[in-house]
Structure 1
């Protein structure tokens, strides 16, 4: 008799996910922590999102916009929350109560990772600090995400992405030049300090899990938004440390490469991103100015950076004479890096973006179809799967309590006292 799995009518088995079997207790809220745990969940981890009864994650109320129901009316779920919480299960627990604290300890004893973004020392007041939890679960990896870390003179301060972008130097290099109209400090359009911290936290957790698997020993991870903001300055941070001179704002130009900026065409704007001298020579040919590539003031990138104020106006005058598609087509044909400036509607409508399947539709309890930005992680053997829509507040409370070993009477008692919702 043939094996059932080989039967033509049998559904093909789905491949195991990279983090299948890893359990994560998520005590974080807003963005940096949830971004980290959503990435872990996308890779197959079972993420248990613990929220406050009644209100839940702060971002549930950060709207409009909100998810629309089948009739087109707003639901209770803000788009902000939906963007960072898929593939998780939600349980609502009041950790200010002894019963809630005991329940968190019980859940923490059965997971591999705990992620939290409470203020320094807050969880210790409840007996839920890393040392206490690891005494019961020595293999537990505890990742704390705060604005300023677990040490240093600012450790007790609350940390918010906007303030961190300012303190960490990002706003000093973002925005138009101070000597031009509109110059002055400018934040980035998305919360990059939060997002980068979430991604660095994910990397750190995976490293800690590898160590745990090899030794059986858990550890603590101390992630700070300010640390991450400084780290992500990349070449600009290195520029300062090598020269002692703080770089300033350059608008849409690059600190170290010319021409690498936005130019205005006859009917819009185009990005030119020349990365080497060979590309510059091709670019000069497109502009019908081949002599520029031989001019000693422009022949090398170092020379072009030094003579930026002379070269850029010359390029701008030529680009202005033709529509942007003329330049985009010519540069693409010559393999000179370039691009349009799309709004989000144009970006998501781009045929390449669609071919890369960068949106995903998921069924949601309040809507027939929820569209989300997909994960950018493309794994050949263990691909990302979209198993759970971002959960309603406490949607999985009963399920998770049963999995934790509580019987019906115990669950009912927790519900009656509003320790769990």
Structure 2
């Protein structure tokens, strides 16, 4: 049993933010029923593929964030399908959607309508700019994706090299962080419902979430009165906290604490630097000189040699590729690579595992992503049984 094995989620989401949120709930044991529009989630056909795209049910993008869910196909514009959806709402705990604001209302399936059928329902929305119910703005209704959120939220302005352009963070953090916060909101709403019986509306916006994620930039603007900008891999208030080039790649060092700074200087045979720059303020004020000293020492050595010398006494790590991650025994011991069937391919594939670990109900991926409408008969047979049981009561 998972921690959420008694929770049913109706998942109306697509692409990344919404599916990632409901994936986390599924990993924790929730029964997530993915309700797909005719033709399915538009990301089903997105690469990469193991074989030819026309031989596989979906690509890696869909597989990664839809594992462990059940799929049914409904057209919410059709009266019968709409009524089937409302029947499902009556037995559900949570509804999650990531359409533009107003989309569900056009089907007369907004929060208020669903709450009439099930007053305890938790209705959770993930949007680019939030929902009018929680604060109406001129941006609502505009399309938004991760790139838009990173640009507006200040992430790109503080990411990249000082002499380079604003840079998007590699992973889709606008989607993923928003999804994670939305999941937390859902769990909070479930706890509130357990105490009071009340359902509620949960709203998480990509733009809002990126402002939350750039928390350091926000307080810097307030305290200094100047907008922070790009520092490469450095930190504005800590040193050394940076990436250094070595003979065969890069390593990162986070030795800003005096204990770690002293250990670093001793390890590289530069005790004089620890004596001359004993405080965090002195190191920060002389960061360019000190960075040069460290860089000169690093460039002549291989990453493994640097890591072996410093590991255990100084926070240090190589900058790894995904190939390095696949070779790391730590990753395998922590079950962070999960093997699933890939329909249409002649071999299984690996996707990222569940990072939340619990002593009694550890989350885990619960099988591959579903085929489109794979579980229609199963879901509606269960619904009929539930309705029959309710009628008997």
| TM-score, structure 2 as length reference | 0.93
Matched, 1:97 2:78: yes
Deviation string, structure 1 residues 294-337 (Cα, Å, up to 9, x no partner): 21xx322222222212211121112223222221111014x101
Matched, 1:190 2:198: no
1:365 Cα deviation from its structure 2 partner: 4.3
Change in 2 beyond 3 A, CA 1:300/1:207: same
Decide which of 38, 49, 68 is 1:66's aligned counterpart: 49
1:225 paired residue number = 206
Deviation string, structure 1 residues 56-90 (Cα, Å, up to 9, x no partner): 11211221x12449xx9951311001110011100
Decide which of 106, 123, 127 is 1:125's aligned counterpart: 106
Deviation string, structure 1 residues 255-308 (Cα, Å, up to 9, x no partner): 22111111112333211111301100111112211111121xx32222222221
1:277 paired residue number = 258
1:397 paired residue number = 376
The 2-side partners of 1:281 and 1:384 are apart by 40
1:346 Cα deviation from its structure 2 partner: 0.9
Matched, 1:51 2:30: no
CA contact (8 A) 1:265 1:323 kept: yes
CA contact (8 A) 2:156 2:167 kept: yes
The 1-side partners of 2:152 and 2:121 are apart by 33
1:409 paired residue number = none
CA contact (8 A) 1:161 1:192 kept: yes
Matched, 1:245 2:226: yes
User: What do you get for the CA RMSD once the two structures are aligned?
Assistant: 1.7
Change in 2 beyond 3 A, CA 1:347/1:385: closer
Matched, 1:164 2:145: no
The 2-side partners of 1:288 and 1:400 are apart by 67
1:376 paired residue number = 355
Change in 2 beyond 3 A, CA 1:285/1:73: farther
Work out the number of aligned pairs and report it: 380
The 2-side partners of 1:20 and 1:401 are apart by 19
1:175 paired residue number = 160
| TM-score, structure 1 as length reference | 0.87
The 2-side partners of 1:394 and 1:73 are apart by 18
CA contact (8 A) 1:67 1:76 kept: no
Deviation string, structure 1 residues 9-49 (Cα, Å, up to 9, x no partner): xxxxxxx3100110000011111111000000110100010
1:371 Cα deviation from its structure 2 partner: 2.1
CA contact (8 A) 2:36 2:72 kept: yes
Unaligned runs of 5+ in 1: 1-15, 407-421
CA contact (8 A) 1:66 1:74 kept: no
